[in-house]
Amino acid sequence: MPVAFHSIEETRAGLVGAGYLAGDSTALVSFLAQRLGKPVLVEGPAGVGKTELAKALSRATGRELVRLQCYEGLDEAKALYEWNYKKQLLRIQVEASDAGWREVRDDIFGEEFLLPRPLLSAISSEQPVVLLIDEIDKTDQEFEAMLLEVLSDFQVSIPELGVVEAKTHPLVLLTSNNSRELTEALKRRCLYLWLDYPGPERELEIVRLHAPALSEDMARKLVEVVQMVRNLDLRKPPSIAESIDWARALLLLGAEDIDAETLRSTMSIIIKHRTDLDLVTDRVGVKLTDGLVGSRQAG
C-alpha cells in the first residue's frame, strides 16, 4: 500500500529503510516532490546513486517503479503509446462484411487497441507509481518537448481518443549526466537536485549499511582509499556502488587489511580502465605501502 511522507525526517527515515542514506537536500527534495507533485531533475556525476534514488523511493513509498530508459532516437511510439494494428486488422477482418465502416472505426481506435508504453502506463495506473525517466540528456530536444505535457499536466493527448488524464499522481524523477544542456522549459517544470559524491563520513555510513560485516577500521580505510582515488584524474572515477561492491568482495576474500597487495588484486572492482589501473597503482599503492593511509583517522 502506498505510503505518503509527512515530513522531511519521515522521508529520510523511509529512504534509510529502503537502503538509501539520503543527504539533507536529497531528503528535502524527495519530500517536496511528493508534496508539491513536481517532477525532480536529478543531476550529478555517474555513479552517485541517481537511479538508485528512484528505486529507493519506490521501495520506501510502496509504489511500483515504471522506468523509461532514454536513448538517442527514442520516440513517442516507444515512450507513450502505439496502436496495436495487428489486433485492429483482425477486428476489421472479423467484421469485414456486415459492419459499416463508421462503427468499426469507432471500435478500433479504443483503449482496447492501445499499447501503453511507460509514460502512458505510469499516468494511467490505478495505484500511484514512481516514474523514472533515466538519462534524459540522451534523447533529442523534440522528445523533451513531448515530455512537457506529461510532466506539467500529467496528461497525454491521443488524437483519436482525446486526452488521457492521470488517475493518480506519479512521483517523477528525471536523471541526467549533463552530456547535453536541457531546455529551459523542461527545467522550469522540475525541482532540481544535484547529487555529488558523498563526503568520507557519509560514504562510510553507506558502506557500513550495505556491508555491515566489514569491520569499522577496514571500512574507514576503504573509504579513504576510494576518496583518494576519486581525487586522481581518472577516466572513470569509482562510483558508490563500486565501493560497496569492493567492500563485499573484501569480505568474501576474508581480507584482514587493505594493503598494496590487496589493492592490486582487487582494484579491478573499482577501476575500469587500463590506464586508470596504472595510475592508481602508482599513486595510491605507494601510499598504502608506506602506511600513510589509515594512520590519520578522521575525527
Partner 1 sequence: MASSGPAKPGRPGRANPALYGGMPAARSARGMAPRLLEFADELRREGMAVGSSELLDAFAALEAVAWTDRESFREALSATLAKSHEDRRLLELIFDRFFFRAVEREAVERGVKEGVSGEGGEERIDLGALRERIRGALRHPRGSDGELRDLARLAISAFGRQGEGSGVIGVDVQRIRRTLGLKGEQAGAELPDPESVPRDRLREFEGHVRRELERALIERTESLPPARPLRDFDRALPTGAAQDLAAVHRVVAQLRRRLATQGRETRGRSRSPAVDVRRTMRLSLQTGGVPIELRYRPRRPRRPELYVLCDVSTSVTSASVFFLSVLHALHDSFRKLRSFVFVERISEVTDVFERERSFEGVSRAIAGDAGVADVSGYTDYGRVWLEFLEQVTDDLDPRSSVIVLGDARTNGREPHAEVFARVAERAGRTFWMNPEPRLYWNYGDSVMAAYERYCDGVFECWTTKQLEGFVNAIADLRPVASRPR
Residues forming contacts to partner 1 in the complex (CB under 8 A) are 8, 24-25, 28-29, 31-32, 35-36, 38, 41, 43, 85-86, 89, 140, 178-180, 184, 187-188, 190-194, 200-201, 231-233, 235, 274-275, 278-279, 292, 296, 298-299
- For 175, phi then psi, to 5°, come to -115, 150
Q: Least distance to partner 1 from the beta carbon of 35, Å?
A: 4
Q: Least distance to partner 1 from the beta carbon of 17, Å?
A: 21
- Closest to partner 1 by CB, 185 or 249: 185
- Closest to partner 1 by CB, 253 or 286: 286
C-alpha–C-alpha distance, residues 51 and 260, integer Å: 33
Q: How, if at all, do strands 129-134 and 64-69 pair?
A: parallel
Q: Least distance to partner 1 from the beta carbon of 282, Å?
A: 11
Q: Least distance to partner 1 from the beta carbon of 135, Å?
A: 13
CA distances from 178 to 30, 41, 137, 250 (A): 20, 11, 6, 33
- Closest to partner 1 by CB, 38 or 248: 38
- Closest to partner 1 by CB, 67 or 87: 87
CB 224 within 8 A of CB 269: no
CB 40 within 8 A of CB 33: yes
Rounded (to 5) percent helix, strand, coil in the chain: 50, 15, 35
135 alpha carbon, distance to own chain's centre: 8
C-alpha–C-alpha distance, residues 83 and 105, integer Å: 13
Give, for 58, the enclosing helix (H) or strand (E): helix 50-61
Torsion (CA) 195, 201, 203, 206 in degrees, nearest 10: -110
- Closest to partner 1 by CB, 45 or 255: 45
Q: Least distance to partner 1 from the beta carbon of 144, Å?
A: 14
- Closest to partner 1 by CB, 20 or 31: 31
Q: Least distance to partner 1 from the beta carbon of 32, Å?
A: 5
